[in-house]
Chains A and B, each alone.
Chain A
Amino acid sequence: AQSVAQPEDQVNVAEGNPLTVKCTYSVSGNPYLFWYVQYPNRGLQFLLKYITGDNLVKGSYGFEAEFNKSQTSFHLKKPSALVSDSALYFCAVRDFDSGTYKYIFGTGTRLKVLA
């Protein structure tokens, strides 16, 4: 079965510093990977995805993610963190099971950017 793991419950970073939120995956076949962000009292918002092609994927709000097949990782990154980036981040993998597309989510990582 497909799965994703987010090893850090929380990441703290100073404003202006680079940030990394980690995600590792376990899939059979080619992975379809996603990052979402959740602000307080809101639903998840799509940030970026990896389907195929370049290992560095660029997304919304200046975020990017690096796909590493040998390390089975898909870490979210941003060169310079903003206080407004503070939120809950979810990694997800698409699963195709019994003819249906489903999405498996990690447990989430809370990012706190300190002014």
Chain B
Amino acid sequence: NAGVTQTPKFRVLKTGQSMTLLCAQDMNHEYMYWYRQDPGMGLRLIHYSVGEGTTAKGEVPDGYNVSRLKKQNFLLGLESAAPSQTSVYFCASSPRAYSNQPQHFGDGTRLSIL
């Protein structure tokens, strides 16, 4: 019963490098979300998806891209990493039909940009 799985768990990048964070959920959830968590700022929504093949911008989308080619996977890409993107990234999913259901979170990816 895996729930939401994020890979990798840790990563160190140099400024200008690119990488992709993977989120996979096995609960057949329609909605998936990417957040970043920074001290004193709570969770801020980067991008989200309401279904396979659809994505939309959240609160802080600049510098990130996403794709949802399969319902169970939601990828977050950094094309040219910047030190300001050093953060902990969380993926979450939730059902669509039952709108009062909580989100399920992965354990996060800790990303450092040097």
Contact = CB atoms under 8 A, between A and B. Distances in A.
B77 interface: no
B61 interface: no
Contacts of B94: 101
A46 B102 contact: yes
Nearest to B41: A107
Interface in A22-65: 32, 34, 36, 41-46, 49, 51
B48 interface: yes
Interface residues of A, number: 23
A90 B104 CA distance: 14
A42 to B, nearest CB: 5
Contacts of B74: none
Contact of B42 (A32, A46, A90): A90
B26 interface: no
Interface class of chain A by DSSP: strand
A50 to B, nearest CB: 10
A44 B56 CA distance: 22
A108 B90 contact: no
B103 interface: yes
Interface string B38-67: 001111010010100000101000000000
A71 interface: no
Q: Which 7 A-B pairs have the closest CB atoms?
A: A43-B105, A46-B102, A107-B42, A105-B43, A44-B105, A105-B42, A51-B100
Interface of B: 4, 31, 33, 40-43, 45, 48, 50, 56, 58, 90, 92, 94, 96, 99-100, 102-108
